[in-house]
Chains A and B, each alone.
Chain A
């Protein structure tokens, strides 16, 4: 593809590289762009990616593995779009995704990205695990298969396969059961939602996933969906309607917030914790939901909610978005965004870092270990905090 064929050919040269995109709202530092924070080279900044993309399409530079890694290290967290004050800001991530699409089209991908996409195509998940094992987290829990239930609980790949994330999935399922909400799951029938596939630039595979999921949901009479993961929430809410998937979609914190606020949920004991909350990018910046998770935490007796300096639209991404949860182009350093983020959490003096995303849960818990903070900071999904506050014994989750 030449620059003349690039869908954003009239926009991509408009980035001046002023650097606003590196900052959080209060200008504390230049580390709010995850790849730039990790490497601190201009190539890894938002402007660097756009200038390199243009240079590549203009034949000023050649494709290399390094170029691809720079482009794929973007977690599509949208901090840049929030901070850039120019009118083309809404298309910054779209430009990166379009550049990736060209790499997908021509088969020039980092090995980890290729493997990620292949696994999803072959197995319906990026782990390359068997589809049959997708519902194994339910073992011993009697969770019903979705069949004319009011809600589909869509778990997603991470919540289904990652052993740490499974804990939050089980907690959520137990909490939902306790609320008497009518819900079912897809189990082995569930397939990847495709949010990361979309962000990695594989539009064809995303379309297949979206159409397949929409057909499945419709065949089961699904019209209201609760998601564990903000990534799935984003795909269902913002992308599936283009393929005829007009479902009513909730992130689980939105459903539970109302029950907590109205006193429908019973809390059996004070939680006694100082908690800070990390905003997941695909719930916060992508979908504007900053209140629901906080309102849950604020209504659990005994919890003192303390904000990190970078919060809401300024929250530093954990580094796991756009497949980086697995392709891991940002790991391996104390400058990795997840390591930076848990240091920011620890600086508040809390003992719990609450999350509302299975990817953030795993990324940040690993980072706590990497920083040696296990003794003072634990990472818990809000579903786990709710389950414990509701008196659901940990072993039952």
Chain B
């Protein structure tokens, strides 16, 4: 099937691209770690998903690098994540997107419209970067976090005020003989508590909580967020592609 629209989400940690058909179903997708040379990477990813589609197929762009996507229509992450998530769930509620450097809490209306949103300001301690930095220090690959956290006897308390301070705190905890699995679980809870605090404003009235972003692939993180928010958290299908999907939907001819 020939793609009707392409979407690209140029994030701070990863770059994502999708191709969708005329009803907005994902045909093909590609994800790479973010390259500071945005333009060639975007071209490469778009080519990877383009398939049979010609050069005139519309391109929607979102994420930090959205303005650097030549020929693309730039739309903010808030709007794109809302569109992408609603297309996959079809339900109103609170969408939490945990990205590399941004955490967004978006309240979606009955028609998927953005009713309210909040984002982390000034500080990235409540984002994926927090885990990335500290896990790097602990030499724990992201893929092992879920198993470690699930097997932990108890969570070791880690502060989430500042990534840099938390890093040194974790080093002292290891030195003091605290178990690694407990620290990893503590990290997830610490991050989740910060995200839950951000989501409290826009999310006060929402019934369902959805999670998107790269961190949603991590079962430990999903469990930690559900624990901190005190209600179940549903992961949007293909959570990492939600922004790119929303960008594609923003330029999809039928939707326009």
Chain A partners chain B: no
A interface residues with partner B (beta carbon < 8 Å): none
